[in-house]
Amino acid sequence: MGRMQGKSCVVTGGARGIGEGIVRRYVAEGARCVIADIDVEAGEKLAAELGDAVVFVRTDVTSESDIAAAIDLCVSRYGSLDVMVNNAGVVGVTGPIEETPLEDYERTMSILLTSVFLGTKLALPIMKKAGGGAIINTSSTAGVQGGLGPHVYTTAKHGVIGLSKSVAVEAAPHGVRVNVLCPGATLSSLTAGLVAGDKDALDEAYERLSSKYPGGKAPRPEDMANAAVFLASDEGQFMNGAVIVMDAGKEVLSDRAAKFYPID
**206 labelled catalytic:** no
B/e letters for 65-77, b = 16+ CB within 10 Å, e = fewer, are: ebbbbbbbbbeee
Tell me if 137 is assigned to some domain.
yes
For the segment 207-252, what is each residue's pLDDT rounded down to a tens digit?
Answer: 777 777 777 877 788 999 999 999 999 999 999 999 999 887 777 7
The residues near 192 (Cβ < 8 Å, ≥ 6 apart) are: 198, 199, 200, 201, 202, 204, 205
**How much is the pTM?**
0.91
- Type of residue at 219: P
Residue in 112, 85, 110, 247 with CA at minimum distance from that of residue 177: 85
- Average pLDDT of adjacent 10-residue blocks, the chain of 264 residues: 93 96 97 98 98 97 98 98 97 94 98 98 98 97 90 97 98 98 82 73 77 77 94 96 88 56 48
Residue 145 is assigned to a structural domain of this protein = yes
Domains held by the chain: number: 1
- Write out the residue range of the structural domain in which residue 157 sits: 8-184+228-240
Q: What CA dihedral angle connects 45, 55, 241 and 154, to 10 degrees? A: 40
Q: Examine residue 22 and state whether it is found in any structural domain, yes or no.
A: yes
Compute the distance between CA of residue 232 and CA of residue 177 in angstroms, rounded to an integer: 9
Q: Residue 258: its pLDDT value, please?
A: 47
* CA-derived radius of gyration, the chain: 18
Which is catalytic among the residues 26, 153, 213, 261? 153
CATH no. for residue 143? 3.40.50.720
pLDDT given at position 201: 76
